Amino acid sequence: MKRLITLLIILLLPACTSVKPWEKGILSKAEMSLDPLPMESALSSHIYFSKEASSGGLSAAGGGCGCN
């Protein structure tokens, strides 16, 4: 799977175009944010952490809890 992600990086990055600030109208929409509802996603991550053996991702781990 790491090979697949590496392949995606190789394929996607050369496709980048230089987007000027005034061309970012769509990118500025709330639904284009990487995390449109951060409190909702924080809760979901915490529940998954309490019920699955995996955890972690795009943030530092933060504090633990007795749930897992």
Partner 1 sequence: MSSSKILSVLTASALAIPTLSSAADMPTQNSLSYVSSFYTDDAISGSQSIDGKEHDRYDIKVNQFHVMAPISEDETISFDYIHDAMSGASPWSVAPVGTTNKVIMSGASIKDTRQDTRINYTKYERFRTSGITFSNSRENDYNSYSLGGDLQLSLSDKNTVIGAGASISWDTIKPTQGIYANLLDGITKENKNTYSIYGSVTQVIDKKTLVQFGASTSFHTGYLSDAYKMNDKRPDYRFMTTTNIKLVYFFDQVDASAHLEYRYYKDSWAVRSDTIGLTMYKNLQGDYQIVPSIRYYSQDAAKFYNTNTTQASTAQYYSDDYRLTKYGAIGTGLKVIKRLSDITVYGSFERYNTNNDFALGANSKNNPGLVSYTRMSIGIEYKF
**Residues of this chain that bind partner 1 (CB under 8 A):** 1-2, 5, 8-9, 12-13, 15-40, 42-44, 47-48, 51-68
Smallest gap, in angstroms, from Cβ of residue 58 to partner 1?
Answer: 4
Of 25, 24, 68, residue with least CA distance to 49: 68
How many angstroms separate the CA atoms of 44 and 38, rounded?
A: 10
Smallest gap, in angstroms, from Cβ of residue 46 to partner 1?
Answer: 8
Smallest gap, in angstroms, from Cβ of residue 3 to partner 1?
Answer: 11
How many angstroms separate the CA atoms of 26 and 34, rounded?
A: 13
